[in-house]
Structure 1
Amino acid sequence: MVKVLLTGGSGFIAAHIVDVLLQHGFETVVTVRSEEKGKRIIDAHPDIPKEKLSYVIVKDVAQDGAFNEAVKSTPPFDYVLHTASPFHYNINDPVKDFLDPAIKGTTGILKSIKAYAPSVKRVVITSSFAAILNGDKHPKLYSEQNWNPITWEEAQDHAKVYRGSKTFAEKAAWEFVEKERPNFDISTICPPLVLGPIVHYLNSLDAINTSNQRVRDMIQGKFKDGLSPTGVFIWVDVRDVALAHVRAIEVAEAGGKRFFVVAGYYSNKQVADAIRETHPQLESKLPSTEVPDDFPSDVYEIDNSRSREILGLKYRALKETVSSTVESMLEVGA
């Protein structure tokens, strides 16, 4: 039996990864911040025996040695999927409160694996399009070759600190492997805006991932008088992101590679139109069909060929994703 450690098990993407891991026959151990969150995950999978799904508690992923005990296992782990990111509400000092924890959370688990889990063959790390994006000047084409050119000084701007943290954390992971030459290789997954069904046992409508908030706000009538700016015009379904993580441990050729996991383009107007088409009963909550679309005519190109050719991904269409996202929200009372 192949055994996998999944960090940040109660996160939006990780909750979907749990389902894919179990479907693919992996023995799965998740890290969570509390007993309560661990029990929720177990209770949500009543048909899975405890030897196939269990949890360990890691209260603060940014602490030195946070994962030292979590990576020790009998039988030992074969793979680690690292989706956990430091959790906090207040950013007073961008370096101390955000940048350092993001970097240490990533390098910390790599150090723990090297020291205490020599059986691990590969670590897959959740990065982000934020580590690819050039917010000041978009290139003609985005692919895995692009890196966000943000500097350490620029990243201390509160508006840019998230993008900086993702960029520096991913770079730190690649540098760790290059310098430390551990017993494992790594792959990184870089998704843009992530839409998809919410996980009922973890999420309330007040506590859903940031990307899905726009869908919730639309079906609750908060954009009836007009849409907010779209922002970044590319998206992906959470179920495709989850599959990408699992395929990255199943496919030998995925080692040592970065994956830009992106389905295609979207705008807030296109999301609203998809809701209108798939759930016409929500028409009264939605903005007028006359609301202009802010999708740019000169939008950058995207290349997701590596994820399709190596990981075998077949991306869901926007309408399917929006429909299932809305359905999941209506089920919890949106």
Structure 2
Amino acid sequence: MTTTTVFISGANGYLAQHIIKQLLVKGYKVIGSVRSHAKGEQLTNSVKDENFSYIVIPIITHKHAFYEVLLKHPEITVFLHTASPVTFEVEDNENDLLRPAIDGTISALKAIKRYAPQMERVVITSSAGAIFGFNEYFDSDTVYNEDSWSPLSYEQSKNTSAINGYFGSKKYAELAAWEFMKEQTPSFDITVVAPVYCFGPQAYGIKDKSKLNLSMQMVNTVLTLTEDDDIPEFGNIFADIRDVARAHIVAFESDEARGQRLLVATENFTFDKIANIISNHFVNVEIPPGNLSKNERIYKLMVPRYDNSKTNRILGFDFIGIERSILDTADQLLG
């Protein structure tokens, strides 16, 4: 039987590394894009598997970014597009967040349609931020599902906060992808995976604690509190990064996932809940114990209600709970 070859963009990302790890365990061949040879060599040294290779694509938004890899590797039949800017330190939301996300997604889809007629499945990483209302757009009465869209307009994404710019970039990149599929009717199918906040350890260990991704930094924020500090009042919805990676694989393996949006969400969290889990299991970590009685009030103030039962049925696996996820993350951060 011929081994399926999967291409993944943004291969050295937090999520992408978990996807790569799981793909290799399942026997797939994987080709990943990175922005430099140095990043590619670092990832290769971490992965240590002959079925993994990388290609350097410095600028994925360029219209010919994926031309070379698709022409050189006609064996690729699955394309996972996980690369997208994740930063809130920007000068211009449109140029730094919105356009890169939209243009990167469309350049990938155009390249696949033109240069990879053998392509069968494409999976795009979006975000629950493309589905939920949040911050000033939070609506406690709405129950969001896989058919919902954030109320954030393009103008609001462009002209307000960097957070709005980021979530807007996910929404409008995804909308552009669905519009492309409708207008261009390519031979491949797409599936969108929209995760919430992701916790869980790095796939291949932490190389530099000063350069943690946003999700791990949230856990680290709690870990670095002192006993006298106030725990920030913040809550949202969580999924373990390993489950989100697994969802990307089901997204192309499952026929039922064709043309679907998968909202990957497991349970609510607050910083107090994270602190409580850590303080109950790590006796040498001196942080505030976390006041769980605050949780329901915080949930009502800022955590969207949702129904992702369709996603859970399609995925068909049991999810990692918040306690295990936080403990695995904290264990790696403390190591």
Of 291-300 and 1-10, more deviation after overlay is shown by: 291-300
1:214 maps to which residue? 218
1:175 maps to which residue? 179
Q: For residues 159-198 of structure 1, what are the structure 2 equivalents within 5 Å?
A: 159=162, 160-198=164-202
Residue by residue over 1:250-301, the C-alpha shift from the partner in whole angstroms, topping out at 9 and shown as x without a partner, is 111111000000011111101111111222221x1x1144586254364543
One-letter amino acid matched to 2:192? T
Q: CA RMSD in A?
A: 2.0
| 2:239 is the counterpart of 1:236 | yes
Q: Which consecutive residues of structure 1, in runs of 5 or more, have no partner in the other structure?
A: none
Q: For residues 245-256 of structure 1, what are the structure 2 equivalents within 5 Å?
A: 245-256=248-259
Contact 1:244 1:313 in 2 (8 A): no
Structure 1 position 223, deviation (Å): 7.7
Q: For residues 55-94 of structure 1, what are the structure 2 equivalents within 5 Å?
A: 55-86=54-85, 91-94=90-93
1:302 maps to which residue? 306
- SS at structure 2 position matched to 1:225: coil
Closer, same or farther: CA 176–224 of 1 in aligned 2, 3 Å: farther
- SS at structure 1 position matched to 2:16: helix
Residue by residue over 1:186-238, the C-alpha shift from the partner in whole angstroms, topping out at 9 and shown as x without a partner, is 0001111110102455642111111221211222236851112314x211000
Closer, same or farther: CA 321–107 of 1 in aligned 2, 3 Å: same
Contact 2:201 2:332 in 1 (8 A): yes
1:205 to 205, 209, 212: 209
1:25 to 24, 27, 39: 27
Contact 1:61 1:105 in 2 (8 A): yes
Distance 2:19 2:206 in 1: 14
One-letter amino acid matched to 1:251? S
Closer, same or farther: CA 87–290 of 1 in aligned 2, 3 Å: closer
Contact 1:266 1:295 in 2 (8 A): no
2:103 maps to which residue? 104
Residue-pair matches, total: 325
Distance 2:68 2:100 in 1: 19
Structure 1 position 96, deviation (Å): 2.1
Structure 1 position 329, deviation (Å): 1.1
2:157 maps to which residue? 155
Structure 1 length-normalised TM: 0.91
| 2:328 is the counterpart of 1:324 | yes
Closer, same or farther: CA 137–289 of 1 in aligned 2, 3 Å: closer
One-letter amino acid matched to 1:276? S
One-letter amino acid matched to 1:57? V
Distance 1:291 1:234 in 2: 16
One-letter amino acid matched to 2:259? G
Structure 2 length-normalised TM: 0.91
Query: Comparing both structures, which one devotes a greater share of its residues to helix?
Result: 2
Moved over 6 A (4+): none
Q: Percent identity?
A: 33
Distance 2:63 2:187 in 1: 21
